[in-house]
Amino acid sequence: MLTVSNLQKTYGSGDQAVEAIRDLTLTVDKGEFVCIVGPSGAGKSTMLKCLCGLLQPSSGTVTLNGVPLNGPPKEIASVFQDYSRSLMPWFTVRRNVGLPLRNRHRSAADRAARVATALEAVGLTSFGGRYPWQLSGGMQQRVAIARGLAYAPEILLLDEPFASVDAQTRADLEDLILRVRDDTGVTMLLVTHDIDEAVYLADRVVVMSARPSVVLDTVEVDLPRPRDQVTTKQLPRFAELRAQVLTLIRRPAHHDSTPDHHSKIGERR
Ligand SMILES: Nc1ncnc2c1ncn2[C@@H]1O[C@H](COP(=O)(O)OP(=O)(O)OP(=O)(O)O)[C@@H](O)[C@H]1O
């Protein structure tokens, strides 16, 4: 469904040039849940911006259903880490969730129905009339997820979506996103620096090196579904997969990445 071939991205030029991504190649199949792990500054957000058409790669291609990307595609919705900056504080929850639908020229009744379904999916039906600042951080992130879902994308891109909430809320949101995936069949591409989270959620974990990033390897996650925060994480296979990803991350890349970068990624604090 989504193919990234030899993606390379350098910001600026000359003395100011920052090579964020050296060479990324990966594919995401329809309905798959792919997690991307990589150290801080590895270029994960840069990659997602290239995938949702907000940034032009310096070289390489991104194709969606066989068509090269040329600007933001209507098939993709994104959820970012910082919900406080992605929600409009002067709009109600309902209006925030319905915002991207206005550009798709849907009727008011259709928009309202989609917003209601999306709010229900994230358990916020009774909060549609509130403002974001009246909600907890975890609830605000659920609003951001609902906004992505209301858009009915083929692919949902999630950039460290649970990084700004406490551990219990994070676990709840992880389970929410798994439930949404089961209910809707939407393809998920989620970036995280948390190995446990990646293994818990994914069908496949793509491991990125430190900047300038390359794909170090891909790990197939053959854990049974439905997954559970307690029983899945107690499985010996979960520990094996976790160790496999950690070993990859600790192995220096072939280019000039430093061990310091690698130490920033790892087990949940
Ligand atoms: N607009 C920009 N101009 C110049 N350099 C940039 C720009 N955006 C990002 N960079 C640099 O590119 C590199 C990759 O940044 P990016 O935000 O993609 O990494 P990341 O893996 O998402 O990091 P984190 O996990 O900390 O969010 C960093 O060194 C960053 O400083």
Whether residue 238 is predicted with pLDDT greater than 90 in this model: the reply is yes
Residue 216 φ then ψ, to 5°:
-75, -45
For the chain, which domains are there? 2-35+70-188 (3.40.50.300)
What's the CA gap between 135 and 161, in Å, rounded? 17
What's the CA gap between 204 and 32, in Å, rounded? 8
Q: Is the CB of 227 under 6 A from ligand 1?
A: no
- Run of H or E residues at 21: strand 18-28
* CA nearest to 200, candidates 172, 72, 208, 133: 172
Please state the pTM of the whole predicted model.
Answer: 0.89
Residue 192 φ then ψ, to 5°:
-150, 160
What's the CA gap between 131 and 174, in Å, rounded? 24
Nearest Cα residue to atom 9 of ligand 1: 46
Q: Is the CB of 211 under 6 A from ligand 1?
A: yes
Whether residue 104 is predicted with pLDDT greater than 90 in this model: the reply is no
Per-residue pLDDT at 169: 85
Beta-sheet pairing, 33-37 with 204-208: parallel
Note the ipTM here. Answer: 0.97
Residue with tokens 């915002």: 99
Find out whether 93 and 143 touch, Cβ atoms under 8 Å.
yes
Atom from ligand 1 closest to the CA of residue 16: 4
> Comparing 165 with 241, which gets the higher pLDDT?
241
CB-side exposure of 136: number of CA atoms within 13 Å?
8
- Run of H or E residues at 237: helix 236-250
Whether residue 268 is predicted with pLDDT greater than 80 in this model: the reply is no
* CA nearest to 118, candidates 49, 72, 174, 186: 186
pLDDT band at 261 (very low <50, low <70, confident <90, very high): very low
What's the CA gap between 185 and 202, in Å, rounded? 14
Q: Is the CB of 136 under 6 A from ligand 1?
A: no
